Chain A
Amino acid sequence: MKTYFIKTLFVPLSGLFSKKRLTSVLTAAALLTVFGLGLSLLSGCGKEYDLYVYNWGEYMDEDVISIFEEETGLKVSYDTFDTNEDMYPKVAKNAVRYDVICPSDYMIQRMIQDDLLAEINFDNIPNISNIGAQYLESSREFDPENKYSVPYCWGTVGILYNKTMVNGPIDSWSVLFDEQYQDNILMQKSVRDAMGIALKYLGYSLNTTNEAELQEARDLLVAQKQSGVVQAYVIDQVRDKMIGNMAAIGVIYSGEAIYTQRENSDLEYVVPKEGSNVWIDSWVIPKNAKHKENAEKFINFLCRPDIALKNFEYITYSTPNVAAQELIEDEDIRNSSVAFPDSSVLENCETFQYLGEEADNLYNQLWREVLGE
Chain B
Amino acid sequence: MNNKRQTLWNHLLATPYVLWMAAFIVIPLFFILYYGLTDADGRLTLSGLAQITNPVNQKALWLSLELSLVSTVICLLLAYPLAMILRSLQMNSTSFIVLIFILPMWMNFLLRTLAWQTLLDKTGVLNTFLTGVGLPPQNLINTPAAIILGMVYNFLPFMVLPIYNVLIKIDRNVENAARDLGANGFQTFLKIILPLSLPGVISGITMVFVPALTTFVISDILGGAKILLIGNVIEQEFQILNWHSGSGLSLVLMVFILISMFVMSKYDKEAEGTAIW
Contact B240 A85 (CB under 8 A): yes
Q: CB-CB contacts of A1-32 with B at 8 A, as 1s and 0s?
A: 10011011101110110000000000000010
Which of B20, B91, B121, B225 touches A246 (beta carbons < 8 Å)?
Answer: B121
Residues of A within 8 A of B232 (CB): 371
Give the distance to chain A from B192, nearest Cβ to Cβ, in Å.
22
Which residues of chain A (209-258) have a CB below 8 Å from chain B?
A: 225, 230-234, 241, 244-247
Contact B228 A372 (CB under 8 A): yes
Contact A233 B233 (CB under 8 A): no
Number of interface residues of B (CB under 8 A): 42
- Asked whether A232 and B226 contact (CB < 8 A) given A1-B203, A246-B121, the answer is yes
Residues of A within 8 A of B60 (CB): 372
Residues of A within 8 A of B226 (CB): 225, 230, 232-233, 371
Residue of A nearest to B163 (CB): A8
Residues of B within 8 A of A85 (CB): 239-241
Contact A232 B224 (CB under 8 A): yes
Residues of B within 8 A of A13 (CB): 98-99, 102
Which residues of chain B (255-277) have a CB below 8 Å from chain A?
A: 272-276
Which of A12, A15, A189, A241 touches B225 (beta carbons < 8 Å)?
Answer: A189
| Interface check B56, CB cutoff 8 A | yes
Residue of B nearest to A233 (CB): B225
Which of A4, A12, A35, A247 touches B95 (beta carbons < 8 Å)?
Answer: A12
Contact B102 A1 (CB under 8 A): no
| Interface check B184, CB cutoff 8 A | no
- Asked whether A4 and B273 contact (CB < 8 A) given A15-B91, A245-B123, A360-B240, the answer is yes
Residues of B within 8 A of A16 (CB): 95-96, 98-99
Residues of A within 8 A of B165 (CB): 7-8, 11-12
In angstroms, Cα B273 to Cα A235, docked, is: 41
Which of B141, B228, B274 touches A371 (beta carbons < 8 Å)?
Answer: B228
| Interface check A364, CB cutoff 8 A | yes
| Interface check A140, CB cutoff 8 A | no
Contact A1 B224 (CB under 8 A): no
Residues of B within 8 A of A231 (CB): 122, 142, 224
| Interface check B136, CB cutoff 8 A | no
| Interface check A369, CB cutoff 8 A | yes
Give the distance to chain B from A340, nearest Cβ to Cβ, in Å.
32
The secondary-structure label for the interface of chain B is: helix
Residues of B within 8 A of A364 (CB): 236, 240, 242
Residues of A within 8 A of B228 (CB): 368, 371-372
Residues of A within 8 A of B225 (CB): 189, 232-234, 371
Residues of A within 8 A of B16 (CB): 31, 34-35
| Interface check B79, CB cutoff 8 A | no
Which residues of chain A (287-331) have a CB below 8 Å from chain B?
A: none
In angstroms, Cα B206 to Cα A3, docked, is: 14
Residues of A within 8 A of B141 (CB): 232
| Interface check A183, CB cutoff 8 A | yes
| Interface check A89, CB cutoff 8 A | yes
Give the distance to chain B from A106, nearest Cβ to Cβ, in Å.
14
Residues of A within 8 A of B207 (CB): 1, 5
- Asked whether A368 and B274 contact (CB < 8 A) given A183-B139, A233-B224, A244-B123, the answer is no
Contact B102 A246 (CB under 8 A): no
| Interface check B151, CB cutoff 8 A | no
Contact A368 B56 (CB under 8 A): yes
Q: CB-CB contacts of B16-60 with A at 8 A, as 1s and 0s?
A: 100010000000000000000000000000000000000011011
Give the distance to chain B from A309, nearest Cβ to Cβ, in Å.
34
In angstroms, Cα B139 to Cα A360, docked, is: 35
**Of A7, A8, A183, A368, which is in contact with the most chain B CB atoms at under 10 Å from its CB?**
A8
Contact A1 B139 (CB under 8 A): no
| Interface check B116, CB cutoff 8 A | no
| Interface check B155, CB cutoff 8 A | no
Residue of A nearest to B16 (CB): A31
In angstroms, Cα B242 to Cα A244, docked, is: 36
Give the distance to chain A from B177, nearest Cβ to Cβ, in Å.
26
Q: CB-CB contacts of B82-112 with A at 8 A, as 1s and 0s?
A: 0000000001001110110010000000000
Give the distance to chain A from B106, nearest Cβ to Cβ, in Å.
11
Contact A12 B122 (CB under 8 A): no
In angstroms, Cα B55 to Cα A368, docked, is: 11
**Of A13, A15, A361, which is in contact with the most chain B CB atoms at under 10 Å from its CB?**
A15
**Of B164, B232, B239, which is in contact with the most chain A CB atoms at under 10 Å from its CB?**
B239
Residues of B within 8 A of A1 (CB): 203, 206-207, 273-276
Contact A12 B240 (CB under 8 A): no
Give the distance to chain A from B85, nearest Cβ to Cβ, in Å.
14
The 4 A-B pairs of least Cβ separation, nearest first, read A232-B224, A233-B225, A372-B56, A16-B95
A-B contacts, 11 of them at CB < 8 A, read A1-B274, A12-B95, A13-B98, A16-B95, A85-B241, A183-B139, A231-B142, A232-B225, A369-B56, A371-B225, A372-B233
Given A230-B224, A369-B56, A371-B232, 16 more pairs with CB closer than 8 A: A1-B276, A5-B207, A9-B161, A12-B99, A12-B161, A12-B164, A12-B165, A83-B239, A85-B240, A85-B241, A189-B225, A232-B141, A234-B225, A241-B121, A246-B123, A368-B236
